[in-house]
């Protein structure tokens, strides 16, 4: 899902940064991770690839993880 969101927003980085500066806004992405206590379930994993890290850096976006 994050990849799809970044693919959609990446061409708009200049617009995002312009609006942040003009209106004194901040950007944040929050992830809610559901952990299943069942030992047969896979463990939660969340990775950020270089493209995601680059987008987050270029837009000054904070990331929150809610477990």
Predicted confidence (pLDDT) at residue 15 exceeds the cutoff of 80: yes
pLDDT score for 10: 95
Contact predicate 9/56, CB 8 Å: no
13: pLDDT confidence band, cut at 50, 70 and 90? very high
Provide mean pLDDT across the span 14-21.
98
Number of DSSP helices (H) and strands (E) in the chain, helices first: 3, 2
Question: Secondary structure of the chain in the HEC alphabet?
Answer: CHHHHHHHHHHHHHHHHHHHHHHCCCCEEEEECCCCCCCCCCCCCCCCCHHHHHHHHHHCCEEEEEC
Mean per-residue pLDDT of the chain: 89
Classify residue 44 by its DSSP letter.
Answer: P
This prediction's pTM: 0.79
Q: What is the pLDDT of residue 45?
A: 72
């Amino acid at each position: 899902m994050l990849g799809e969101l970044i693919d959609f927003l990446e061409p708009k980085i200049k617009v995002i940064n312009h609006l942040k500066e003009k209106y004194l806004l901040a950007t944040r992405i929050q992830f809610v991770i559901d952990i299943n206590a069942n030992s047969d379930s896979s463990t939660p994993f969340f990775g950020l690839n270089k493209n995601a890290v680059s987008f987050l850096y270029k837009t000054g976006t904070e990331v929150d993880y809610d477990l």
